[in-house]
Amino acid sequence: MQTPVTIIGAGLGGLVLARVLHLHGIAATVYEAEASPTARAQGGMLDIHERNGQLALEAADLTDEFRPLVLPGRQATRLLSRDGTVLYEKDDDGTGTSPEVQRGELRRMLRESLLAGTVRWGHKVTGVRALGGGGDNRGGGGGIGDGRYQVSFANGRTEVTGLLVGADGAWSRVRPLLSRTVPRYVGRSVVETVLDDADLRHPATARAVGAGTLVALDPAVSGKWFVAHRERGGVLRNYATLTHPQEWFEAQDFSDGAAVGARIAAEFADWAPELTALLTAGRAAPVLRPLYVLPAEHRWERVPGVTLVGDAAHLSTPNGEGANVAMLDGAELGRAVAAHPDDIEKALATYERGLFPRGVEAAAAAAHNPTSRQVIDFFTGAGRTD
């Protein structure tokens, strides 16, 4: 294959794509805006599912490397009411099929599976232009050139490619070449907080979270809950969801960790102190993560030489599927290119035939926003089938 492959974004989907291409002897370069692999905390636990994430790792020939990353016991689950009452609890008995790993460790494994120099750090995209047709990234299926693209970076460099892949997330700079659709705010945001050395410094909160995942909610109120995970080394990471307009969150000063932690905690004023400590006891300032989605049916007409993977293609609210589906996107695109190395358009058309229904399925799963009572019923038996 003579066509250079340019991947924008060194997230999980882009790295899996580069790895699968590498296995098939196809060179690719991954451009990432972050200055280095350690430029920011990678954070978060991921449960890697059999139906997508684990299939992607098999395609990348990294299953053996993946197994040591799995944190034992983390498939344990607790459901608590706002007053700390345990509504449901299940230990990790070793029979679960969605092992938990830390995102940063998974990303490092994928990065280290590539040849040195494959990922180019400190390359923030400032523009993408279709060559031969006068199009640029203000298009949207229009401005189609000859299947080649020029990517411009903030550091002054440019790259011309005949196969461009946008793996650059919700606010993709590549997507406008294919679609005019932009993400919309769903009316909820997540505030992420982290507690270090929780077993020693915050034992009551550590006990409340338990060995794996905690879900805490108010049976009478929907749109407000906690999801907390136990990470390696006694770290607890919490995601507090609140339903407010964006303006409400923008009015909070997230640079003042103590003040904003107290303000967010005030939204949970009648909750148990061991739960609200997840918001107020962290050493680092809380991080705001507004939730956006693309339409469930988001798709585009085939445009020569360019496609998308992961959130750039099908952005949904968090439900455990996003990272898994992004990895499978990368694996499937890599396999399609390897199967048709001399016919890029056939490869991209083949990939997108699977991509679009996969995105619809992921969006449908995320769109189901159960009430607090439905969540409780599911865990405690009324809605369970296992």
Q: From CA 366, how far away is CA 311, in angstroms rounded?
A: 13
Question: What integer pLDDT is reported at residue 93 of this predicted model?
Answer: 92
**Sign of the CA dihedral running 79, 99, 232, 109:** negative
Residues 112-161: pLDDT tens digits?
Answer: 999 999 999 999 999 999 998 644 443 444 445 678 999 999 999 999 99
90 in helix, strand or coil? Answer: strand
Residues 294-340: pLDDT tens digits?
Answer: 999 999 999 999 999 999 999 999 888 999 999 999 999 999 999 99
Strand partners, 307: 165
Contact assessment for residue 89 and residue 210, using Cβ atoms and an 8 Å cutoff: yes
Work out the average pLDDT over 225-242: 96
Work out the average pLDDT over 57-75: 97
Helices 103-112, 12-23: inter-axial angle, 10-degree rounding: 30
Question: What integer pLDDT is reported at residue 375 of this predicted model?
Answer: 75
Question: What integer pLDDT is reported at residue 269 of this predicted model?
Answer: 94
pTM of the entire predicted model: 0.93
Contact assessment for residue 1 and residue 341, using Cβ atoms and an 8 Å cutoff: yes
Q: Which of 21-30, 39-48, 114-123 has the lowest mean pLDDT?
A: 39-48
Q: From CA 8, how far away is CA 4, in angstroms rounded?
A: 13
Name the average pLDDT for the chain: 92
DSSP string, 330-354: HHHHHHHHHH-TT-HHHHHHHHHHH
Q: Which residue has the higher pLDDT, 372 or 248?
A: 248
> pLDDT > 70: what percent of the chain?
92
Nearest to 239 by CA among 231, 256, 48, 316: 231
> Does residue 210 surpass a pLDDT of 80?
yes
Work out the average pLDDT over 93-114: 96
Q: Which residue has the higher pLDDT, 191 or 132?
A: 191
